[in-house]
Amino acid sequence: MGGITLKSSLGVIFAITSQISFITAAPTTDSASTSLPIVDLGVSLIQATSNSSGPHPYFNFSNIRYAQPPIGQLRFDAPVAPTVRNSTVNDGQQGVICPQANPGWFAGAKIWLATQNISLLSTGPFTVSDIPAPDPRTSEDCLFLDVVVPESIFTKN
């Protein structure tokens, strides 16, 4: 399957950051965020958040889809660029939680710890139920990136 190489991945990131740096801000209809820019990347509309607490304020464009979800046939292939346009404005507020795994030694730790004197450290026996359940918002669809642009650079154009 045709995927994105590291070289073309960097090209995609450069293209996105170049567009964000040179596209003028579009007003939004939400009165609370009328001054925050929206950038049209062709496949999605991204609204910035602003951090003005400091000497160098910046816009943060969060959760920009980098590639199609890595599920099904795409699971172990190189990332494939998104092709479907999403016309809903993405304000970056919907966080993405990628799957996490325990380290390989985690399963053997219980056996090893059983042979050690850890009475001063232990608060009780360790059981499988002590392992926290995965966050229900976890998804393998986590090929997103954030782009941070100084406000002074963004507003120059």
Cα gap 51→5, rounded to integer Å: 33
The verdict on residue 48 lying in a domain is yes
The verdict on residue 61 lying in a domain is yes
Q: Tell me which of 84-88, 99-103, 117-121, 137-141 is least confident.
A: 117-121
The verdict on residue 134 lying in a domain is no
The verdict on residue 105 lying in a domain is no
The verdict on residue 85 lying in a domain is yes
The string of pLDDT tens digits covering residues 82-114 is 989 989 999 988 878 888 877 778 778 878 877
Task: Give me the residues paired with residue 61 across strands.
Answer: 147
Contacts of 144 (CB under 8 A, 6+ apart): 62, 63, 64, 65, 66, 96
Q: Name the domain count of the chain.
A: 1
Specify the higher pLDDT residue, 90 or 128.
Answer: 90
Task: Specify the pLDDT at position 68.
Answer: 94
Task: Specify the pLDDT at position 137.
Answer: 84
Please give the model's pTM, rounded to 2 decimal places: 0.59
40 is in which domain, residue-wise? 6-99+140-154
State how far the alpha carbon of 57 is from the alpha carbons of 23, 32, 40, 51, in Å.
18, 18, 22, 5
The verdict on residue 135 lying in a domain is no
